[in-house]
Chain A
């Protein structure tokens, strides 16, 4: 039964549209102190002294904190503990924070931050990932022994034999740029000491549990000594992980030392300077193709610039490796992947997580190969794409779910009348100034963490004596509507109105540690836990009421706020059933745990069942290119994604459009620019994210094939929507101009440099 709810329903919509939602910076605290980070002018340098005395004497300043004030661990990281709360030995990139000023007001803290002096011995900086690999390269982390953060590989089949079977070989080199998440809300955190000694932390972060780990480690206290409260956040997109945790940890440190609440609210320029980015990639790609259109071999080398600290570079590059051939069956694969340290801004998680880069490569390679064969890219894809029962390049048989690659491709072709439009493309020739092109791209994507890590999630359903329901889930509301999706899934499973359910914003002290809300895992993992919790609750209620209904417990149904016997003649209301449970001393309180099905991985061969299920998506775009200016104008975009099951249709559509918009920025507008290792576009006037007029009308085709691996039937959507529009645009540009673009962002030769912002009215 589909739960009844209003179109567009979200539990937080009313508060958000009336401006009453309290984000971290909106919260009020008595005796609140304010902090400001201190950066240095260096890119790579050995710190000799941090002089804080002048700042300490400045008006309103309460304290200046540095690494020596950290009682616990100053270094942290989810994989390698190399990231600092405060830089202690060296400055490794221009965003390293050496100290933090705490003052009575934010303005005074900022003013005093200029008075902290960093004395350091400058070191040569390594800013190019290829340079970083040279034997004589400057080391970013001397103790690590080299600049290689990690490697991954795939060895499948016989690569030499694969190329022998090829009738021709396509070889190209690609580059992608560094981009910023540009969440509308910059990093912010407030920590407050509680009377019982616990430090409470509110902040804009997408992972209360890992934040708690970092905060507790920094303070040297047990996990129970820190309570991180989920707080409404103004966007994350993967970006509010490590940096957000360190911002939280700095405020917790100050709050603990000073015994007062401390807030650290980032300015946009600090956010862009310090926060981690999407990895810039360099990819060398060689594809062998037989005359019948079969891909016989792929050899590729992937080089990711991880910047100054490890962050999640090994995981990001792992996904790139697993998905390095796109959704195509290739028998012979040889892939070498390297993540490297440089003195550039840190790179970490961003929506897509290693797939946008590889799809930009693969989805152009298949079209280049198709062109050589004289067939369309669509035909080439059909001959190679994964189907039901196909075996992936890591040896995983795709049999546990519906392989919907063809279905989403067909949906997009139908909706766009693609083949007809393809015939009309300009290919470099047109009478007027505008060249016309259409292009598409498709992908499959492993859902959730896969073999990156332990993957399980908890949900708590706690029915009150009056039948109202409190729901808590170990996933976090990042703005995507996770709380609403969880509530709808619970309502549907229990056969009650969603109005009955109140989602309790998670606290790390009340719900089990369910990992981070990343990897598009919120709906599938959280929803799985909610479904299992609801089923267990139903089992218990059924046992309590089956006597009254005069039927077996296993036969009762939950519908429309009632519990019915199989005939539907005898019924009892949900409220009455709950009364009965309390009367018979049974708590209607359950914890549901969803454990992701088993995955496997062999790091040596790069073979294994990498993810427990996969999603499939296809996107197409129409555009025009002005011959004189090189300006690309998008005319329309269509996307089809198999979401398993759409829990909340308007939110699903929102993920489609938002993902496609962000991918448009990746394709055409966005790039973190640097000069000698220092970022030069530090605000939203110079770092240009897509505006309303940059985007075309977009169409979302929701494909639903309930996934048997997912208790709720729902799969994943946040990242798939963001990973294929850039190559679709690149392919459309090719069909318009007749020229291939191998670098992101796409800037056509006739195009002038990005014009200055007109919108910025200062």
Chain B
């Protein structure tokens, strides 16, 4: 079974396909950015992007993403560690507190801005409604996404990591 994770192709035995995707990412690949927080797809802390669409993976298996393009939070920044403009906006706007929801928030926002770089504040708020945060009240998360949207409008190609 072929997987593509953060731009890297990966061949795994078919038997791996039945494993929980979040466990596979966290334990086998040490991609621990996706968090276990509810186990039922209610909170969004485990969100990754699959073909640029958000997926809550605590309720998914490895085979569910076979042959598709997976992006986890670890794949957002440039290989040299330079933050993606969206990540930079999260930092600058104070959108990060405990950080447990942050990977999911960044990825959902990224997928949304790829689709709708001209989104209004209300549309951004709606797009983030499936991801829970207990620290920030979402205000600065929405500020960050609004701030980063400029970048998606001007350089959409760069907004997609290679």
| Chain A residues within CB distance 8 Å of chain B | 6-10, 12-23, 25-26, 28, 181-186, 232-235, 237, 265, 267-268, 478-481, 649-651, 653-654, 656-662, 683-685, 689-693, 695, 697-698, 757, 759-762
Asked if residues B91 and A13 are in contact (CB atoms below 8 Å), the reply is yes
Chain B residue nearest to A661 (CB atoms) is B137
* A762 CB contacts on chain B under 8 angstroms: 40-41, 59
- Least Cβ–Cβ distance between A108 and chain B, in angstroms: 14
Asked if residues A651 and B132 are in contact (CB atoms below 8 Å), the reply is no
* B33 CB contacts on chain A under 8 angstroms: 18-20
- Least Cβ–Cβ distance between A634 and chain B, in angstroms: 11
CA of A156 to CA of B97, assembled, Å: 42
Chain B residue nearest to A267 (CB atoms) is B39
- Partner of B73 from the list A19, A25, A478 (CB cut-off 8 Å) is A19
Q: How many B residues are at the interface, by size bracket?
A: 35 or more
4 A-B pairs besides A684-B42, A760-B41 with CB distance below 8 A are A19-B73, A19-B102, A25-B35, A661-B138
Asked if residues B83 and A18 are in contact (CB atoms below 8 Å), the reply is yes
Chain B residue nearest to A685 (CB atoms) is B42
- Least Cβ–Cβ distance between B47 and chain A, in angstroms: 11
Asked if residues B136 and A661 are in contact (CB atoms below 8 Å), the reply is yes
Q: C-beta contact mask, B18-42 vs A, less than 8 Å → 1, else 0? A: 0000000010001111111111111
Is B66 in the interface zone, CB < 8 Å from A? no
Asked if residues B138 and A692 are in contact (CB atoms below 8 Å), the reply is yes
CA of A233 to CA of B36, assembled, Å: 13
* A23 CB contacts on chain B under 8 angstroms: 32, 35, 100
CA of A12 to CA of B94, assembled, Å: 12
- Least Cβ–Cβ distance between A520 and chain B, in angstroms: 15
Asked if residues B134 and A683 are in contact (CB atoms below 8 Å), the reply is no
* B91 CB contacts on chain A under 8 angstroms: 6, 8-10, 13-14, 17
CA of A685 to CA of B96, assembled, Å: 23
- Partner of B134 from the list A12, A14, A25, A183 (CB cut-off 8 Å) is A183
Asked if residues B129 and A662 are in contact (CB atoms below 8 Å), the reply is no
CA of A692 to CA of B83, assembled, Å: 25
Chain B residue nearest to A181 (CB atoms) is B134
CA of A616 to CA of B121, assembled, Å: 31
CA of A683 to CA of B43, assembled, Å: 10
CA of A661 to CA of B9, assembled, Å: 42
Asked if residues B32 and A479 are in contact (CB atoms below 8 Å), the reply is no
CA of A481 to CA of B40, assembled, Å: 29
* B128 CB contacts on chain A under 8 angstroms: 692
* A480 CB contacts on chain B under 8 angstroms: 97-98, 135
* B35 CB contacts on chain A under 8 angstroms: 23, 25, 184-185, 234
A-B contact pairs, 14 of them (CB 8 A): A8-B92, A18-B73, A19-B31, A20-B74, A26-B32, A183-B134, A184-B37, A479-B97, A480-B98, A653-B94, A654-B94, A658-B134, A685-B40, A691-B132
Given A657-B139, A695-B137, residue A185 in contact with residue B74 (CB < 8 A): no
- Least Cβ–Cβ distance between B43 and chain A, in angstroms: 5
CA of A691 to CA of B39, assembled, Å: 18
Asked if residues B137 and A184 are in contact (CB atoms below 8 Å), the reply is no
Chain B residue nearest to A26 (CB atoms) is B32
Is B111 in the interface zone, CB < 8 Å from A? no
Asked if residues B93 and A8 are in contact (CB atoms below 8 Å), the reply is yes
CA of A171 to CA of B96, assembled, Å: 44
- Least Cβ–Cβ distance between B22 and chain A, in angstroms: 11
